[in-house]
């Protein structure tokens, strides 16, 4: 019986570390991992609260599509024909922390209301149990 918080934190850090190979981390430094690990954390919360990966996958896809369509720079992972091209020198500022500290909590609040998420403590801090395995001839009606 594992606590849900352990896999949530572990997968968030893994999500961040996988993005650590992006050129943004090389240009901006490891402080940019705050954004990637924070995004992994919010996607993990989506998954646990919604009891499925669809919302997290959709959010991640939408984030990447918006990033690819709206803004690019010659030092980012997405080299697209975006609407805007950032030619400034790469730097870390407040905009690195706004999504993690302000926007993501707002999105969690909106999704919680929209999808009727309850039992936050149970889903985020409860125990992880092995799923019931059915035999071939069994099914749940």
Over residues 83-116, the pLDDT tens digits come to 999 898 888 989 889 999 999 999 999 999 999 9
What the block records as the tokens of 32 is: 């940019």
pTM of the model: 0.85
Q: Cβ distance 141 to 21 under 8 Å?
A: no
**Phi (first) and psi of residue 71, to 5 degrees:** -135, 140
Mean of pLDDT values over 8-32: 93
Half-sphere exposure of 55 (CA within 13 A, CB side): 18
- Residue 86, strand partner residues: 73
> Which residue, among 41, 77, 35, 71, has the nearest Cα to 56 in the 3D structure?
41
What the block records as the tokens of 16 is: 């961040």
Q: Cβ distance 39 to 99 under 8 Å?
A: yes
């Amino acid at each position: 019986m594992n606590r849900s918080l352990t896999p949530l934190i572990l997968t968030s850090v893994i999500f961040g570390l996988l993005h650590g190979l992006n050129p943004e981390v090389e240009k901006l430094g490891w402080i940019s991992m705050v954004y990637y690990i924070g995004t992994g954390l919010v996607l993990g919360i989506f998954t646990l609260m919604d009891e499925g990966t669809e919302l997290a996958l959709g959010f991640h896809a939408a984030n990447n599509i918006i990033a690819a369509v709206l803004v690019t720079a010659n030092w980012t992972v997405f080299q697209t024909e975006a609407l805007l091209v950032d030619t400034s020198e790469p730097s870390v500022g407040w905009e690195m922390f706004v999504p993690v500290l302000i926007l993501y909590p707002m999105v969690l609040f909106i999704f919680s209301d929209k999808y009727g998420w309850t039992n936050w403590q149970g889903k985020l801090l409860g125990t992880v149990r092995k799923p019931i395995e059915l035999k071939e001839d069994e099914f749940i009606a």
